[in-house]
Amino acid sequence: MKHSIKFILAVLLAGGLSFAGCAPKAPVTQEDGLELVILHTNDTHAHVAGIDKYGNAAFDADESLGGLGRIAGAVNSIKSEQDNVIFVDAGDQFQGTLFYSVNKWPMLAEIDRHMPWDAMTLGNHEFDEGCLELTRFIETLKFPVLAANLAPEKGCPLLKANTVPHIIKDVRGVKVGIVGIANDEVVALASACNHTKFTGAAETLAAQVRELEAQGVKHIIALTHIGLPADLELARAVDGVDVIVGGHTHSYLGNDSPEGPYPIVEHSPNGNPVLVVTAKRAAQYLGDLTVKFDSDGTPVSWEGSPMEMSKDMPSDPTIAALIDSYLASLDEFRKDVVGSHSIDMADGMDLCREVECLGGLLTADAMLEAGRPLGMDIAIVNGGGIRSSLPQGTITRGDILTVHPFGNMFVLREYSGEQIWEALEHGVSEEGAKGPRLLQVAGLRYTVDGSKPAGHRVLKVDLVDENGKAIPLDIKARYGVAISDYLAGGGDGYDMLKEGKVMPSPDPLIADVLEQHIRKHTPLKDIQTGRINRVN
C-alpha cells in the first residue's frame, strides 16, 4: 500500500531516522496490474533553497518553503519505503535566482549529482547559456536527459550531447517507458543556435510509443516541457500514453485551482484515459501521483496531489551543505545596498504575466528615463523577463539581479505605431490574454479585452508624455523605443520587433539601468499606474 509523503516524513521526524538508515522493502511483483508512484518536479528555476513568504527565492533554507534539499529528502524517504517509485523532472532547472546568476550551471550540476531524479527533459531555459554550455551541463549528469524531439543539425554542439529519446525502467518486473519532449521554441525563447531543430511533438511521441510497444512496453509516461494547454492537446492526439508529466506554464493543479484538478483526465483517440500533471514552480511542490493499471496497461484508478514542502520537512544533508556553501558566494551582492522603496503595489514573477506590476513598471520607467535624452518615446518590458519581486525596504544589487537574472541589454530601436500596436497584441495573444509575453510599459497605456479573439484584443493605445498628457498612438508615425536586446532580436515570438531601425545606444545591462534609476530616486515612494487596463 502506498504511504503518503506526509505520513512517511512524520514517521521520520518522530523517530529521528536518517534517510540512509531506511532499508528498501523486498521487491514486489504485480501480475494483476502495476501500481506505479510517479514523483515529479518542474520549473525549479534554481530555487535551490526554496521560496520565502513572498514567493521570492529564499537564501535561508531553514525559513523557506520547498527547496531541492527537502525534495531530495522526501523522495529518498519514499523510495526507501517503496520499490515502485519513479522520480522525474520536466525541465527549466536553469535561471531565476541570485544563486544561478552568480554560480551558473556548474552549481546545479553539483547539486544534481545528489538528486534522486531518474530522468529529466529540457526546458527552454536550459538553452539560455547556448547549446555548447548545455552540452557541457548534460555531460555532468548521472541521470539521463530525454529529448525525443530534439533534432540538431550539423553545426549544433548538441549533436554530441548525451541525450536519449526514451528510457525503459523495470518496476516490479514490469517495463515502464518514459519519453522526453523538450521545449521546441528555444531559438526564440532562449539562446539556442539556429541549427537547433525539433520534430513535431505529437508525431514524435506517437513514433516513440510504437517503438516502445514493439519492445513489449505497455506503460508509457511522456515527460514534457511544452506547457499545460499543449500537454492537454498532446493527450488527445496520441494513443498509448498513460501519463503526461509537464512543465513550462508553472501551472498549479488541485481541487481549488482554476487550471484544473490533479490530475487532469483527458482521453486519447482510442478513448483510454491520459493523466496530465504538473507541479507549479520554484521547487515549492513535489508532485505525487499513484496510478493503478490493469493487466493490459490501462490506468483504472489514480490518486495524488502536489505536496508542498513545508518548513518542518527534513532536508537531505548533503544537498543542504552544498546550498550553504554556495550561499557565501552571494554575500557581496546581498550587502551592496542601492536604495529602498515603500511602494505598496503587488509584484512578482507570476503577477507580471497577468497585470501591471511594480518590477515591470519600475524597469520600464528606468529604461525610458535613460532613453528620453536619446530621443526615445516609450519603453517596453516583457513580463516573462521579470523573475522576482522587489522587496519593500532596502534594495540590494542582489535583489536587482534576482529580478533581472538574464543579462539582457538595454538597446534603442525605432518602430512604426503599427509595429508597436502589433507587439502589444502579441503580448496578450496567449490564453486569457496573459502570459510571459505581456508587455509592461512606460510612456504608453493600453486597454485590453481578453474575451476577444487573439489579434483583436487591444482596444486603445495612448502615448503619454513626461507631463502626463495622453494622445492616441498614430499607427503611421515613427517612435523611439527603449527595449531589451532579447525583444529586439525577436525573442518570445516578437518577430515584428526584429524589424526596428537600430538607434545609437550605450547598450548597458538592463539590471544596471534599473540600479542607476533606483540610486537616483531612492527612496521610491510612488509609481504611476493605469498603464495596462483590462475590460474583460
Sign, CA torsion 417/419/421/423: negative
More confident position, 60 or 201: 201
What is residue 265's predicted lDDT score, i.e. its pLDDT? 98
Query: How many domains does the chain contain in total?
Result: 2
**Domain presence at residue 402:** yes
291 & 188 share domain: yes
**CATH of residue 89:** 3.60.21.10
Residues 187, 270 share a domain: yes
Asked if pLDDT for residue 2 goes beyond 70, the answer is no
pLDDT of residue 54: 83
Q: What is the pLDDT of residues 136-185, one digit of tens each?
A: 999 999 999 999 999 999 999 999 999 999 999 999 999 999 999 999 99
Residue 15 domain-assigned (yes or no): no
| pLDDT recorded at residue 17 | 38
Residue 227 pLDDT > 80, yes or no? yes
> Using 50, 70 and 90 to split pLDDT, how confident is the model at 20?
very low
pLDDT at 31: 58
Please name the residues in contact with 445: beta carbons below 8 A apart, sequence gap of 6 or more.
461, 462, 464, 470, 530, 531, 532, 533
What is the domain extent for residue 269? 41-328
pLDDT in tens, 184-207: 999 888 889 999 999 999 999 999
Cα distances from 222 to residues 8, 149, 231, in angstroms, run 27, 12, 9
The pLDDT value given to residue 30: 55
Whether residue 36 is contained in a domain is answered as no
Residue 239, φ and ψ in degrees, nearest 5? -80, 155
Q: Is the previous residue joined to 299 through a cis bond, with omega within 30 degrees of 0?
A: no
For 146, list phi and psi in degrees, rounded to 5.
-105, 125
| DSSP assignment of 195-227 | T--B--HHHHHHHHHHHHHHTT--EEEEEE-S-
User: Which pLDDT tens digit goes with each residue over 428-476?
Assistant: 999 999 999 999 999 999 999 999 999 999 999 999 999 999 999 999 9
Same domain, 324 and 345: no
Which of residues 309, 328, 347 is at a domain's end? 328
Coil, strand or helix at 427: helix
Mean pLDDT for 492-520 is: 95
**pLDDT tens track for 508-530:** 999 999 999 999 999 999 999 99
Q: In what order do the strands lie in the sheet with 532-534?
A: 470-472, 458-464, 444-448, 532-534
Ramachandran angles phi, psi of 383, nearest 5°: -55, -35
309 with 363, same domain: the answer is: no
Structure confidence at residue 347 as a pLDDT band (50, 70, 90) = very high
Report the pLDDT averaged over residues 296-324. Answer: 96
| Close Cβ partners of 520 (under 8 Å, ≥ 6 residues apart) | none
231: amino acid identity, one letter: D
Confidence of residue 16 (pLDDT cuts 50, 70, 90): very low
Return the pLDDT at 147. Answer: 98
Same domain (yes/no): 434, 302: no
**Beta carbons within 8 Å of 133's beta carbon, 6+ residues apart:** 105
| Phi, psi at 89, each rounded to 5° | -125, 130
364 within some domain: yes
* Residues in a beta bridge with 41: 89
Domain of 445, CATH number, reads 3.90.780.10
Residue 21 lies in a domain: no
What pLDDT was estimated at residue 26? Answer: 43
Q: How confident is the model at residue 520, as a pLDDT?
A: 97
Whether residue 21 is predicted with pLDDT greater than 60 in this model: the reply is no
Give the pLDDT mean for 376-391. 95
Q: Are residues 279 and 416 in the same domain?
A: no
Residues 261 and 374 in one domain: no
pLDDT band at residue 32 under the 50/70/90 scheme: confident
Of 292, 310, 328, the residue at which a domain comes to its end is 328
Is residue 442, in this structure, part of any structural domain at all?
yes
Say if residue 121's pLDDT is above 60. Answer: yes
pLDDT value, residue 23:
40
Model pTM? 0.86
Residue 482 has a pLDDT of: 98
Residues 252 and 359 in one domain: no
Average pLDDT over residues 227-247: 98
> Of 328, 353, 386, which marks where a domain is finished?
328
Q: Is residue 529 domain-shared with residue 419, that is, in the same domain? A: yes
* 3-state SS class at 250: coil
Is the same domain home to 227 and 348?
A: no
Q: Are residues 374 and 316 in the same domain?
A: no
Residue 239 belongs to some domain of the structure = yes
The answer to whether residue 314 sits within a structural domain is: yes
**What is the percent of the chain with per-residue pLDDT over 70, rounded to a whole number?**
94
pLDDT at 6 over 70: no
CA neighbor of 389 nearest in space, from 375, 378, 373, 400: 400
User: Could you tell me if 50 and 88 lie in one domain?
Assistant: yes
